[in-house]
Structure 1
């Protein structure tokens, strides 16, 4: 009986000592006090620590909040919407977020406050705007606009000359390029800068052989003068 009691007592002591040796269980978590998800109860660092970036991020209940949706290092609360194009009339130097509101003038325009004044940079005399670029139209700055081949000279040829000089003969007057090529018999018919010595003017005035146009005589002096002035101005392809 005594042996049995000693046996039970031994089992009790062994159980007591084994339990006391176990201690409290480990708690895994972040043990870095400066981290957003710091766990003061953690006894085992599980390398889960996360920290704010020091720019826009904040820590809320152990979770990092970004606060910089477009990642431009300007916090969402500090963003200023506006036009960020420096050449625009409504450029906002304080803007941090382009809102697509820019009104950018072309070379032909000017700004009046935040509004674009269309063609505001033109001189109001001869300047025109083509594809956002100022075209002078007054080569010698005499405030008399240059004559346009496309809108003033070619229509004269189309109406009175191309029935004979439409490409089948040696001289074609269907385009600027063909006119400047001249013909195979006499070469160039336009002497740019010198209308009086240009064969086409001499032909139109009848001072160099038969007068053009043949058949329906003749171009009026106003039309011939216009062509001659265009040549005097340099025979531009304009």
Structure 2
């Protein structure tokens, strides 16, 4: 006989229920030797090794026709493990495209609905950013593949977390949320490589190759202090300027070098001061007779420049 009505119930768990449990096929009755496929939800089932079902098949609704022909069959099936999460991330990759982040991801649909849209929500510099993409119709257990360009106004915090919301589309076109999950990762460097350093050309440690200022600028030379007409004299009282140059006295350091800080005494040669070792003989270029020819000797000569010699 043809089967126009059947019911399904669980035989090995009294607390479990099936939805739907009754199928009234009407004009779509199953003909002898034919086969049709049906699906149902299994609720409150205590996972065991197998699920046992009882199927009661009738020619038509037994409530309307108690004398309808029927048969009963029982069958048991192995039950696979069920993931508690609504989706399992299989991969999540982020790459740079034209100095902008692009991500591709794939996740298994563990929800009990057919997913039609995926929404992405992530932090932006001015608040949350939301975008949504169509993924067709992905059934339970199938892979959802999706990807998108992140906004140029993305707040690239570390770790970067993106909320992924799976939606099913209703017949009226309304979006119905079925589940959501969050995925976090560290975004790769995107765009030209940034070089830290001092970007202020007036600083003593200005770095012309630096692309962003890291706050390391130091200021040693103040051009406004330089006054080459100042009469500093040749008194020897050496100071070491912040620029690593030894001056014969403080007046020279300020007016000739424009330094804004110094320490008493000559600079250590390791700081960059050019030092010429003196030989055992008298060195005519060692004006201050300190045993070496250095900047101090030159400045002493310059200090006497223009003086009439008798």
Normalising by structure 1, report the TM-score: 0.27
- Structure showing greater radius of gyration is 1
Greater percentage in strand: 2
Higher helix share: 1
